Amino acid sequence: MCHSKTTLTVKTVIITGANTGIGKETALDLAKRGARVILACRNVQKAELAKGEIIKTSGNDNVIVRELDLASLASVRTFATGILESESRLDILINNAGVAGQAEKQLTEDGLEYRMQSNYFGHFLLTNLLLGLLKKTAPSRVINVSSLVHNLANDLNFANLNSETSYSPSNTYQTSKLCQILFARHLAELVISSGVTVNSLHPGLVKTDVFRYPSFRNFIIRKFLLPFSKSAEEGAQTTVYLAVDDEVANVTGKYFSNCKVCEPSKAAKDDGLAKKLWEVSEILVKFKPEERQY
């Protein structure tokens, strides 16, 4: 559990996928601390319901909803433009949204594999577009919600990063979570002197609807593992810890679990792999060199 009593008055936080599960519990905790909380969600109707519940429980009415579909690069850019126009500061960016199911391969309007874009590529572009505001507001924090299953992705096959040659729901999910850690690791190095810290985490196996899509793997998880897993509130604790605790104010490029630094997989610590992934990702999300803020 995160026991920090830090308040976030005058601080601004963005949380993707904050209308349910870990994201919603994170938003509630940070709202209780007085933050201005922006719920960045694809389903605006569900997000508005979550907003009402968060305001009622926290007593903080400085909670707003902004539409963000990570499976659309155009939506990511529209969201980022809106934030840059409306917000004078950004203290904490929490890349929380994730998709774990989908038995069938699906490409987005951008030609990217749906799960990879929702979990990784969309967040990669979003963070880069908001990096200037994060640096302006420094000290600030970027937090990527990854997963222990990244350990099952032993390497990155750049020829199959978007399931060009083969597709497996579980392999794609594992790869997306490895990418989130590598992304955080490389960005931390790029902004090492800026006052922006970048870390990733494993929240634990949590009772959320991330495993809602029909697949054999998700059926097994729902049937045999979720009954013994963490609640969404418990699963949010490491995210909250990285967002508020003074102990990690100057910690960057690390991977956490249960509010402690832990060792990620060998592949997740490969700086060469992280650099190559970054370069490939810039091309795939059409991020232009002149847009760089690092």
Catalytic residue IDs:
173
Query: 230: which DSSP letter?
Result: B
**Phi, psi dihedral angles at 220 (to 5 degrees):** -60, -45
Q: For tokens 């950004």, what's the residue?
A: 90
Neighbours of 191 (CB within 10 A): 20
Look-up: residue for tokens 């590529």?
A: 121
Residue pair 281/183 in contact (Cβ under 8 Å)? The answer is yes
| CA-CA-CA-CA torsion sign (278, 273, 258, 223) | positive
3-state secondary structure of 118: helix
Tokens describing residue 235 = 């699963």
Whole-number CA gyration radius for the chain: 17
Query: Between the CA atoms of 141, 144, 145 and 151, what dihedral angle is there, to the nearest 10 degrees?
Result: -130
Q: How far apart are CA 237 and CA 185, in angstroms?
A: 21
Q: Which of 129, 143, 157 is nearest to 70 (CA)?
A: 129
Residue 175 near residue 167 (C-beta atoms within 8 A): no
Cβ distance 70 to 117 under 8 Å? yes
Cβ–Cβ < 8 Å for 28, 2: no
Q: Distance (Å, rounded) from C-alpha 200 to C-alpha 238?
A: 10
Q: Measured between alpha carbons, how far is 157 from 167 in angstroms, rounded to an integer?
A: 12
